[in-house]
Structure 1
């Protein structure tokens, strides 16, 4: 297992690179060009700038999250081919600088959804929270305004240029079904996976977050059966999954351990985090510790150890603790604690298997 840490770039992240380097066993950043709108080709000079910054801090840039997919591709519009060509050229550029994995998603409009970015947890910490009933009755436009008003930093998937066209996007998705989304995803994969293979990059789709339809929008990356279908759309080791235990764990019916074992060869990237799910469908993001949530993090790490996982992992979201002022879900303190918890579990599995603990 190779541990990484998501970083949003200088001037757009409260965590400096040299702090990330100090987290034991953490060798690389998970990054993106957040100022490049979805659909545009990434400029090489900006890619090289991130590479130079990371390497100066002793970190690699093997994992990109995300190269966002333009909505016209998801909608299957005639204009999609222009955006797909831009996507291909971006893949090729990333391959030349040593990128090994590109995480992306195929969620209509919203990359993720929460109703509260700073939900009090009762012990002084706060965390990202999803209130099921509020989503059912919410005006999506008002909810987006409220969430953005509570964050001083741009939220991934909620970029201003995307949200400025929210009304038109909802109109465009009228009548779009899951079947349409599957077919448009197939078209996209047929175009990009050969390019990724030539570039030595494994594409890794992220589960829908949360893993069910929201605001009447279809969602398809939600469960084990759907991932099985997805992997058959283009059967290649370069067509894989970002297995996110937090996103999938919001639905207690998802058997994440079974997914790890079934899809072992097709998981180049893992997000390992915990959530606590309530009986009414609400959920809150907790510490990574197994007992703090309803996701079996200890079992998940054991499953990765059992399959001999050599891919990339990151702790994903964290709570906001010790009065840290940070991007919601992406502070230093709790994610660093999460990494140490994950390494502790990994080392325990190493010792149980009779192997010497020598690092990742």
Structure 2
């Protein structure tokens, strides 16, 4: 297992700070480039390599809204997805992190919640969300439709990804609630992830273990790591802690919250996880602008040091990673 840093394809201080922390594996996140264009994808990947990073995961930028909704044009969008996966394979990026959230991605009702020492973090209050008039209307997208489109996608994508050698890592809904505004969601329970894994036993059909979202489901995170990672299909980890539950989430520093983070690290060691683990949402610390809530530099640098300490402790107890 190795620690990676998610970096947008835009040079900034984090591009210098990460290698100073000993991090040279990168997760490509965001950016304004066409993943289905080999030329644009290759230029983006080369930017990371020129700065000494090895891109290991592509997280989220492939257009998939029509595929998820089953909307007109989904087949053309699927062709673009295949082109993107082909480009990933050609450029040696082995994992694609995706979600089945549609219309709304991860949602928070506050981006300026005070946490330890006055640091700013994100939080979600379902009561605030439910004040929207959209909750009084029938859902625009229903769960049955999302299951249909997800299984249709997996049926087509898994054989293609097997051929190209790229792993799919499905991320849970954030927050893991069955409905957000006028849109239902399906990836908010461990049973839902078991259904996805059971849909196909292919090793490319895997998940992103986003710890805080599984904790918000009310489950024991280390036990769930062992359960879902029993046959090597956790392909990517978002190392994050949380306070509360799915209806009331606050994202604290990594060393506080409801998850036993050392036990989680022990679980990754026990299942033989060899992939990328990245620090996820962290508070914004003194002097930072909060321009990118959850993803400023200092909180994640703190998280990396904390993660390294946990990993060293587990290695001393259980042997090398």
The answer to whether TM tops 0.5 is: yes
The answer to whether structure 1 residue 185 and structure 2 residue 179 are counterparts is no
- Among 70, 80, 85, the residue aligned to 1:91: 85
Rounded to whole Å, the distance in 2 between the matches of 1:293 and 1:20 is 25
- Native 8 Å contact 1:321 1:333 kept in 2: yes
Equivalent residue number for residue 73 of structure 1: 67
The answer to whether structure 1 residue 233 and structure 2 residue 209 are counterparts is no
- Among 193, 215, 222, the residue aligned to 2:181: 215
1:273 to 1:33, Cα distance in 2 relative to 1, 3 A = closer
The answer to whether structure 1 residue 323 and structure 2 residue 282 are counterparts is no
Rounded to whole Å, the distance in 1 between the matches of 2:311 and 2:110 is 32
The answer to whether structure 1 residue 28 and structure 2 residue 22 are counterparts is no
- 1:67 CA drift (Å): 3.5
Matches within 5 A, 1:1-360: 1-10=1-10, 14-24=12-22, 26-32=23-29, 34-36=31-33, 42-121=36-115, 123-138=117-132, 174=140, 176-212=141-177, 213-251=179-217, 253-264=218-229, 265-277=232-244, 281-289=247-255, 292-325=256-289, 326-353=291-318, 355=319
Rounded to whole Å, the distance in 2 between the matches of 1:70 and 1:200 is 20
- Native 8 Å contact 1:33 1:42 kept in 2: no
Q: Structure 2: state its 5+ residue gaps.
A: none
- Native 8 Å contact 1:10 1:16 kept in 2: no
SS in 1 for 2:301: helix
Q: Which runs of 4+ in 1 moved over 6 A?
A: none
- RMSD of aligned Cα (Å): 2.2
- 1:69 CA drift (Å): 4.4
Rounded to whole Å, the distance in 1 between the matches of 2:260 and 2:13 is 28
- 1:217 CA drift (Å): 1.7
- Native 8 Å contact 2:4 2:25 kept in 1: yes
SS in 1 for 2:67: helix
Rounded to whole Å, the distance in 2 between the matches of 1:327 and 1:78 is 33
Q: Given the two structures, how large is their TM-score scaled by the length of structure 1?
A: 0.82
- 1:200 CA drift (Å): 1.1
1:69 to 1:53, Cα distance in 2 relative to 1, 3 A = closer
- The number of equivalent residue pairs is 316
Q: Structure 1: state its 5+ residue gaps.
A: 142-169
SS in 2 for 1:268: strand
Rounded to whole Å, the distance in 2 between the matches of 1:255 and 1:227 is 15
- Native 8 Å contact 1:223 1:254 kept in 2: no
Rounded to whole Å, the distance in 1 between the matches of 2:132 and 2:30 is 31
- 1:287 CA drift (Å): 0.7
1:299 to 1:244, Cα distance in 2 relative to 1, 3 A = same
Q: Given the two structures, how large is their TM-score scaled by the length of structure 2?
A: 0.92
- 1:78 CA drift (Å): 4.3
Q: Structure 1 stretch 70-79 or stretch 94-103: which is displaced more?
A: 70-79
- 1:332 CA drift (Å): 1.1
- 1:41 CA drift (Å): 5.2
Q: Structure 1 stretch 44-53 or stretch 325-334: which is displaced more?
A: 44-53
Rounded to whole Å, the distance in 2 between the matches of 1:246 and 1:140 is 27
Rounded to whole Å, the distance in 2 between the matches of 1:276 and 1:113 is 16
Question: Where is the strand percentage greater, Structure 1 or Structure 2?
Answer: 2
- 1:140 CA drift (Å): 6.6
Rounded to whole Å, the distance in 1 between the matches of 2:13 and 2:205 is 31
Rounded to whole Å, the distance in 2 between the matches of 1:277 and 1:310 is 30
- Native 8 Å contact 2:228 2:234 kept in 1: yes
